[in-house]
Amino acid sequence: MADRYLRLAGTAPGRFLTRRVGLPQPAALMRWTAERPSLDGAVVRVVAGEVVAERVGPAEPVDPPVEPYAAVVLDATGIAEVGGLRAVRTSLGPLVRGLARCGRVVVLGAGAGGGAEAGAGPGGRDAAGAGAGDVEQAAVQEALAGFVRSLGKEIGGGRTVQLVRVAPGAALDSTLDFLLSPKSAYVSGQVIEVGPALRQPEVSGRRRTALVTGAARGIGESVAATLAREGAHVACLDVPGSGDALTAVAARLDGTALPLDITASDAGERIAAALDRLGGGLDVLVHNAGITRDRRFTHMDEDRWDAVLDVNLGSVLRTTGYLLKAGVLNDHGRIVATASIAGIAGNAGQTNYAASKAGIIGFVRSLAADPALRERGVTVNAVAPGFIETEMTAAVPFLIREAGRRLNSLGQGGRPVDVAETVAWLAATGSGGVNGQVVRVCGQSLLGA
């Protein structure tokens, strides 16, 4: 659905008018294209006050780096005292002023011993057994999250700000590549934990196989296309009623169409059989199919409640359970499920939907901690989209839709590709240290923040 306000604010008279009356100023976001795969300008790294130019787009680094910068990375992992936080202001302040539109700020903080072992403080120790130094370090490291979330809200111009908590030996490259690229255009205000790769991936030229549910349209179609772009053979699953649309998506991506209702009692067996015909097992499982059946709780009938809980949560648990038990998911497999900010913030009229999406977060956190899966190098993560422009949100009443679009730091709705790029990063072979994370793709929505 066209966002006319975003288009208006992108024109010179529109910019003038919206600024005069104090309306939001959404910037046109720079998204990934094959012709423009990286941000323009220097990626500047600051460690203990020392500034180093890391890269300058596709060109050679220039020292000192020239403004406007594409991105600034502040290594704050060593900050352990309140006084040390001063360096955040002194070293980042001048650089942020020189940041290009759609530029990136990434703060690196000290992480715990591993992605899914959340709850432990920096250094892997919990507060109960910590000394005074540990407590101060935990406090100032948490302070970084408040800083990042606030800077994200005021920085404007399509710029984004994230905190990445880095555990010792973390496999950080794929995460930094994502956050410092146009692929993360609609991700902001996030705190992401990265640990060491659960298991070193064996080097193999084998083509990966991905399964995407709800792939006939919307976010699922975009996820399927993005995983295909990254080289995977994609099995595209959607309800039999999606017919021609599903066939067309699968054909365009040179993938396989799998017409199947994910809530069918034998869905697991039928997916396994289809993957068996393709051969080579499954590498990436993306649970994307989802529905809404909104009603106030007091008017919520059994059908709406059951349908949403079954499609959005029950089927995810059943099919994952079956595929894991049947040994279909390969070592180093990636499971990415789709939650929602409604599952974090709650939403009037969506008790069923929010419950199902919060359930997805519980599913991801619990499965990511499974020792047997960790041993096999299997990661489990969730994306939590905010307001994404799809047929699902086109059906939302006008005023609620406008609020959904504007009530975030980027002042606009996201596109399916924003979620798809995030899924592709979590699904990448290099993302073996990202586990148990719930990454919001919401332009830093005020809901649930």
Rounded to whole angstroms, the Cα distance separating 8 from 30 reads 17
Q: Which stretch binds ligand NAD (CB under 6 A): 106-114, 209-217, 326-334, 366-374?
A: 209-217
- CB closer to ligand NAD, 108 vs 342: 342
385 binds ligand NAD (CB under 6 A): yes
391 binds ligand NAD (CB under 6 A): yes
290 binds ligand NAD (CB under 6 A): yes
Applying CB under 6 A, among 137, 141, 175, 338 the residue interacting with ligand NAD is 338
Applying CB under 6 A, among 300, 392, 446, 449 the residue interacting with ligand NAD is 392
Applying CB under 6 A, among 187, 216, 228, 249 the residue interacting with ligand NAD is 216
Applying CB under 6 A, among 239, 249, 284, 439 the residue interacting with ligand NAD is 239
- Cβ distance 94 to 69 under 8 Å? no
What b/e sequence results for 243-282 when a residue is b if at least 16 CB atoms lie within 10 Å of its CB, and e otherwise? eebbeebbeebebbbbbbbbbbeebbebbbebbeeeeebb
Applying CB under 6 A, among 109, 122, 214, 411 the residue interacting with ligand NAD is 214
Nearest to 305 by CA among 261, 341, 354: 354
Determine the size of the site formed for ligand NAD (CB under 6 A). Answer: 27
- Cβ distance 227 to 283 under 8 Å? no
| Nearest distance from C-beta of residue 308 to ligand NAD, angstroms | 9
| Nearest distance from C-beta of residue 219 to ligand NAD, angstroms | 4
- CB closer to ligand NAD, 147 vs 186: 186
Q: Which stretch binds ligand NAD (CB under 6 A): 24-32, 80-88, 139-147, 211-219?
A: 211-219
28 binds ligand NAD (CB under 6 A): no
- Using alpha carbons only, give the angle 101, 148, 420 rounded to the nearest 5 degrees: 65
Rounded to whole angstroms, the Cα distance separating 194 from 178 reads 13
Q: What CA–CA distances, in Å, run from 438 to 127, 187, 213, 223, 399?
A: 23, 12, 19, 17, 28
Neighbour count for residue 185 (Cβ, 10 Å): 24
Q: Which stretch binds ligand NAD (CB under 6 A): 1-9, 32-40, 47-55, 289-297?
A: 289-297
Q: Which two tokens stand for residue 182?
A: 């146009």
Applying CB under 6 A, among 226, 242, 379, 444 the residue interacting with ligand NAD is 242
- CB closer to ligand NAD, 365 vs 401: 401
| Nearest distance from C-beta of residue 175 to ligand NAD, angstroms | 22
Rounded to whole angstroms, the Cα distance separating 292 from 385 reads 14
Q: What amino acid is encoded at 387 in this protein?
A: F
Nearest to 107 by CA among 86, 88, 82: 88
- Cβ distance 378 to 427 under 8 Å? no
353 catalytic residue (yes or no): yes
Q: Which stretch binds ligand NAD (CB under 6 A): 158-166, 257-265, 318-326, 361-369?
A: 257-265
420 binds ligand NAD (CB under 6 A): no
Helix, strand and coil percent figures for the chain, each rounded to 5:
40, 20, 35
Classify the C-alpha dihedral 248-252-257-260 as positive or negative: negative
| CA-only gyration radius of the chain, Å | 22
Q: Which two tokens stand for residue 210?
A: 């991905």
Rounded to whole angstroms, the Cα distance separating 41 from 95 reads 13
Q: Which of residues 308-327 bind ligand NAD (CB under 6 A)?
A: 311
- CB closer to ligand NAD, 198 vs 246: 246
Rounded to whole angstroms, the Cα distance separating 287 from 314 reads 11
| Nearest distance from C-beta of residue 431 to ligand NAD, angstroms | 20
Q: Which two tokens stand for residue 228?
A: 């295909």
388 binds ligand NAD (CB under 6 A): yes
- CB closer to ligand NAD, 40 vs 421: 421
Q: Which stretch binds ligand NAD (CB under 6 A): 186-194, 326-334, 381-389, 431-439?
A: 381-389
Nearest to 235 by CA among 185, 271, 194: 271
List, in sequence order, every residue forming a beta bridge with 324; answer none if it has no partner: none
| Nearest distance from C-beta of residue 199 to ligand NAD, angstroms | 29
| Nearest distance from C-beta of residue 191 to ligand NAD, angstroms | 19
109 binds ligand NAD (CB under 6 A): no
Q: Which residues belong to the active site?
A: 353
| Residues making contact with ligand NAD (CB under 6 A) | 213-214, 216-220, 238-239, 242, 261-263, 288-291, 311, 338, 340, 385, 387-388, 390-393
